[in-house]
Amino acid sequence: MAEHTTTGPNAASPPEKTGLATAMSRVGTMIEFAWGRVPFTTAMVALMLALGIVTGGLWNSLYDRGWYPDIAYGVPSLQAGRWWTPVTGSFFAAKPLDYLLQLISFGVLVGFAEWRLGTRLTAVVAALGQLIGVVGGGLAVWLLSWTAWPWAQDAALQLDVGFGAGALAAIAVSSATLRPPWRFRLQIALSVLVGVLWLYVGSFADVTHLLAVAIALPFARRLVGPDRVAPRSTPSRREWRLLAVTGIVVIATVELVELAWPGESPLGQTSGQVGSFLDAAITLVVLAILGNGLRRGRRVAWRWTVGIAALTVALVVLGAGAVGVALVFDLDDSDLDGVPLFVADGALWGAELAVLIVGRRAFRVPSRRKIRKMNSKSAAAGPASALTLLERHGGSSVSWMTTWPENLYFVREDGEGYLAYRRHAGVAVALGDPIGPAGSAESTVREFAQMCDRSGLVPCLFSVTSVGAAAAAALRWERVQVAEDTVVDLVGLEFKGKAWQDVRSAINRAAKEGVEYRLVTLAEQSWALVAQVRAISDEWVGDKGMPEMGFTLGGVDEALDPHVRVGLAIDRSGTVQGVTSWMPVYAPGGQVQGWTLDLMRRRTDGFRPVIEFLIASSALAFRDQGARFVSLSGAPLARSPGESAGDTLERVLESLGAAMEPYYGFRSLHAFKMKFKPRFEPMYLTYRDAADLPRIGIALGRAYLPDADLPDLVRLARSERG
């Protein structure tokens, strides 16, 4: 007999869950998930929460409880023989707000560490970090309390509770597993946090935190093991700028704390150290202006900050010398109040000065005044006027790069054309064909060479097409091919046939996995989306193990230009899987006739054929908008197999390309572009005299690797020999 099923309105339905039952079910699911992923963190947070409920510490302070000294750690507990307090004190918090902060910070920091390191290693690191921080900090403070240092004497009387030292030790060790640049950022943030808190607050808890991080960071790589340690990398230009801005923010924060929350620190009384509110406001405004300039890589901001930092450090050194003289000769009017804090402020500025000097190549964006002064005949030169001339006369596939802010400009006598260039090693490296009216390229190159002669510079043109090379040849200049532009014609483009199988597979797989394509103006997108793009790009740069390249290779900052279009591959969860940026190629009259590929990044552990998908989708989108072609750009120092390397410069460039290949993969990238069946257009370096080639070679190296130091060059040399 068939079973009868009722489906109508009178059919019985399961009882609906109440709001409380639903909430309890969700909490249970979350606990089950947490226990499966981070059992140590979950158990510790549950234990702290249970003790807070049992003792009433979640809603009342423990300071007034008679048993508080029996569970709190510190020098008094060690002196009284309460050896168990480093363990018992770790599971409590003194005040309700402290409980909230401890539960959240422990769950986030230790939970992240357990996710990266595993349960066993995280438990060991957290426990040892807590014991070393508490016991070691107690011994250090006890020894220092025998001196005349008032702070140490006061800290030796303090009792404390909490698991802060262990949590910070765990996150410090886990930082070794992060890919660059996140490892660098996290380690700097931890160091600055514990250092500044100890210098300007200086509670016993700050001592334990400082000691735990100071011991955990140096041993992080060894504890994690070589299999899980992410590769090292040199900080990119953006990282140096971020580090310099961080220093400014720390200095400004210290100024604000000393003004608004004065108190006793290890270095003395912080009240009265920053003058009036007006003085502090002026200081903060100046620091904000300098920080914004450093964030943009402005050379003028770098110079002003270096000057202020150097002056501050000099005053600290002179002041310390004067105090030393006063102490030696026992002068009665010597006043040491505020001197330690003054020295600490000087140390912060000294650290900022060191960052600015070491990372000086990250701050090369010239001011508008500097650009105007480079040539009296180019008073209006700059990215804006370059864009006006570019739209008027059109340009080659690399012409948009001439509008980038780090360029200098030479403008023709009649103001109707220009060359953008970089100065390195006494060489003016002009980028791309001269921009100007048809038939004016030869005269532009001639005037450019005359300007270089007046300025004591060696002229050359880089990445020029046959048009620019012909203009230089008319002046008896030599040329050598340095790359090939890979151009895909869009008229009638369809990815049909066996030859396009790989491209079609990428498109079909994206549709199957829910990855969609968006062509956007990145500057108009949400902060969260731009942050994802930056994270993907930063991870790619960090994985190279070498400095970020520049000159003809842009990054996210260049992709944020409103004229640039950005292709995004986004999955169902809203995660960006890959990104490409496309620079406009103008025809005379201002119409965009094509687009040139610049930024090309993908998520390391994401949708693998995302770049094929992005390039193909972008080509179809631009085709539908009426563009004639897309340029997949010329990979620097890469050419098709079989190209000759005849003269000395060609052989040098060939060797340099081979050395860079393991780190940047230009030749592999060039081979990858063959999937799109491009046609090739040679790109040349033109130069006036073979005797200039050594300097030109150095200038090109500096243009592409402005942040490279001696160890980086040694690695390149070793890879080339290999």
The residue written with tokens 């422990």 in the block is 106
**Residue 198 domain-assigned?**
yes
Q: What are the tens digits of pLDDT across the range 655-683?
A: 555 555 444 445 567 677 888 889 989 99
Question: Nearest 5 degrees, angle CA 312-CA 316-CA 319?
Answer: 135
Rounded CA separation 313/348 (Å): 9
DSSP state of 13: -
Alpha helix locations (H) across 225-273? 237-260
Residues 248 and 207 in one domain: no
Give the residue from 48, 74, 98 showing the smallest Cα distance to 207.
74
SS3 for 350-400 is: HHHHHHHHHCHHHCCECCHHHHHHCCHHHCCCCHHHHHHHHHHHCCCCCHH
Residues 200 and 264 in one domain: no
Question: Nearest 5 degrees, angle CA 552-CA 558-CA 564?
Answer: 105
Give the residue from 637, 539, 622, 533 showing the smallest Cα distance to 578.
533
Q: Is the peptide bond before 584 cis (omega within 30 degrees of 0)?
A: no
Collect the ranges in the chain with pLDDT lower than 50: 1-16, 331-334, 336, 375-380, 640-646, 661-665, 717, 719-722
Last residue of a domain, one of 310, 338, 362: 362
Burial grade of 686 (CB within 10 A; 0-12, 13-18, 19 or more): buried
Residues 517 and 586 in one domain: yes
The residue written with tokens 């063959």 in the block is 674
Residues 287 and 221 in one domain: no
DSSP state of 551: T
Rounded CA separation 510/533 (Å): 19
Question: Nearest 5 degrees, angle CA 315-CA 319-CA 325?
Answer: 150
Share of the chain above pLDDT 70, in %: 78
Rounded CA separation 531/306 (Å): 30
Residues 214 and 321 in one domain: no
Last residue of a domain, one of 179, 213, 233: 233
DSSP state of 425: T
Name the residue range of residue 176's domain. 24-233
pTM for the model: 0.64
Give the residue from 101, 80, 82, 102 showing the smallest Cα distance to 91.
102
Q: Please list, in sequence order, all residues whose beta carbon lies within 8 angstroms of the beta carbon of residue 196, skipping any fewer than 6 positions away.
A: 250, 253, 254
Task: List phi, psi (to 5°) of 188.
Answer: -65, -45
**Residue 45 domain-assigned?**
yes
**Residue 388 domain-assigned?**
no
What's residue 295's pLDDT? Answer: 84
Last residue of a domain, one of 327, 362, 397: 362
Rounded CA separation 207/212 (Å): 9
What's residue 636's pLDDT? Answer: 55
SS3 for 307-328 is: HHHHHHHHHHHHHHHHHHHHHH
Return the CATH number at 493. Answer: 3.40.630.30
Residues 249 and 345 in one domain: yes
**Residue 205 domain-assigned?**
yes
Rounded CA separation 461/11 (Å): 82
Phi-psi region of 97 (alpha: psi -120 to 50; beta: other; left: phi over 0): alpha
Number of domains in the chain: 3
Helix (H, G, I), strand (E, B) or coil at 46: helix
Pair 81, 142: CB distance under 8 Å: no
Whole-angstrom CA distances from 110 to 50, 85, 323, 482, 521 are 18, 21, 45, 51, 39
Return the CATH number at 191. Answer: 1.20.1540
Q: Please list, in sequence order, all residues whose beta carbon lies within 8 angstroms of the beta carbon of residue 448, skipping any fewer than 6 positions away.
A: 410, 419, 421, 428, 430, 434, 459
Phi-psi region of 56 (alpha: psi -120 to 50; beta: other; left: phi over 0): left
Residues 529 and 663 in one domain: yes
Task: List phi, psi (to 5°) of 659.
Answer: -70, -35
Amino acid code (one letter) for 102: Q
Residues 301 and 171 in one domain: no
Residues 186 and 251 in one domain: no
Residues 217 and 353 in one domain: no
For residue 410, list its beta bridge partners. 419
What's residue 667's pLDDT? Answer: 57
Q: Which two tokens stand for residue 704?
A: 């592409």
Q: Please list, in sequence order, all residues whose beta carbon lies within 8 angstroms of the beta carbon of residue 589, skipping any fewer than 6 positions away.
A: 391, 392, 394
**Residue 718 domain-assigned?**
no
Residues 244 and 222 in one domain: no
Residues 246 and 188 in one domain: no
The residue written with tokens 């399961």 in the block is 14
**Residue 719 domain-assigned?**
no
**Residue 262 domain-assigned?**
yes
DSSP state of 135: I
**Residue 703 domain-assigned?**
no
Q: What are the tens digits of pLDDT across the range 352-389?
A: 999 999 888 778 776 656 655 554 444 445 678 889 99
